[in-house]
Amino acid sequence: MTIPPRFVPTLTEVVQGTAGPEVQAGFGNAPQADAMQREMVQRILMRVDVTLERRLREAVGRLVLEQIQNLTPMLREQIEITVAETVLQALAQEEQSAPGDKEQ
């Protein structure tokens, strides 16, 4: 059994941690550099969000279609059973309600 990690970084932490030391050194400690870094992280997160949303929508769509295809034979069978039972019940009720019609 695999034990899950105690700490899982957030996407923001991963993106912020991807800049190499030379890039981080280029930003320096100035407030302007911090603002540029935050802006870059926000742009990256927006791009990831758009791509992730599209891919998730596609994956969910495939799963829903697959489930519908798997359910179709079972649904068709249940519908056939229900229709057959309903028709038999209706015929039985019709036979019971019209006994005089048979004698004529």
Structural domain contains residue 101: no
- Quote the DSSP letter at residue 6: S
Structural domain contains residue 73: yes
Structural domain contains residue 42: yes
The four Cα atoms 54, 60, 62, 68 give a dihedral, to 10 degrees, of -150
| pLDDT value of residue 69 | 94
Structural domain contains residue 60: yes
Structural domain contains residue 6: no
Range of 89's domain? 34-95
Residue 48 contacts residue 11 (beta carbons within 8 Å): yes
In the predicted model, residues of the chain with pLDDT beneath 70 are: 1-2, 4-5, 8-9, 11-29, 99-104
Q: Please name the residue ranges forming H helices in 1-104.
A: 11-17, 21-27, 31-97, 99-103
* pTM (predicted TM-score): 0.42
Domain count for the chain: 1
